[in-house]
Amino acid sequence: MKALFKSKPKTPVDIVRQTRDLLVYVEGQGFDSKDPKREEKMVELGKLIREMKWILYGSSEAEPVHEACSQLTQEFFRENTLRLLIVCLPKLNLETRKDATQVVANLQRQQVQSKLIACDYLEKNIDLMDTLIVGYEDMEMSLHYGTMLRECIRHQSVAR
């Protein structure tokens, strides 16, 4: 009987879309501490980012699945989720920041059909480098923004 009520597993595309929705919430007026659902949404955002990390890195029991990594990467860059994550990073808790930093670092190296789509995205959104540099100057955020910045400038066209 329990099997009837189990929700189907989330696809990488679903995870990225839910993450993006919560990041929009965090970025906007929804971050007001008066909102009673704020903490619940922040916990859910942390779980979703952790799920993305598991998809990209695998776990102790399983290696990452290439198809899932490709789907996650394509969806992540399709709707500016990288920009939202970078902008909202200071508002996240420490563990979620660490996971988000690892996700961004891994996505910089993900190939989809033999292309680094992160490189193409960053070339079109070069202003993100300025955001990362400014964020690097904040002592509390410098470790996270610095790691992201180093991964982004591994792409020669972006480094120029």
Domain positions in the chain: 11-29+37-159
Q: Could you tell me how many residues make up the chain?
A: 160
CATH T-level fold of 11-29+37-159: Leucine-rich Repeat Variant (1.25.10)
Q: How confident is the model at residue 4 (pLDDT cuts 50, 70, 90)?
A: low
Which region among 23-27, 34-38, 117-121, 150-154 has the lowest average model confidence (pLDDT)? 34-38
Strand partners, 26: none
pLDDT (0 to 100) of residue 30:
47
Q: What is the mean pLDDT of residues 134-138?
A: 88
- State which amino acid sits at residue 142: S
The per-residue pLDDT for range 39-63, each reduced to its tens digit, is 899 999 999 999 999 999 988 888 8
- Kindly list the distances between the CA atom of residue 98 and the CA atoms of 103, 108, 113, in Å, as whole numbers in the listed order: 9, 16, 28
CA distances from 84 to 23, 63, 98, 114, 160 (A): 6, 28, 16, 26, 24
Per-residue buried b or exposed e for 66-83, using 16+ beta carbons within 10 Å of the residue's own CB: eebbbbbbbbbbeebbbb
Say what the alpha-carbon torsion angle 88, 26, 14, 51 is, to the nearest 10 degrees.
60
Among candidates 59, 94, 72, 55, which has minimal Cα distance to 20? Answer: 72
Phi-psi region of 9 (alpha: psi -120 to 50; beta: other; left: phi over 0): beta
Between 31 and 143, whose confidence is greater? Answer: 143
Residue pLDDT, tens place only, 57-70: 988 888 888 899 99
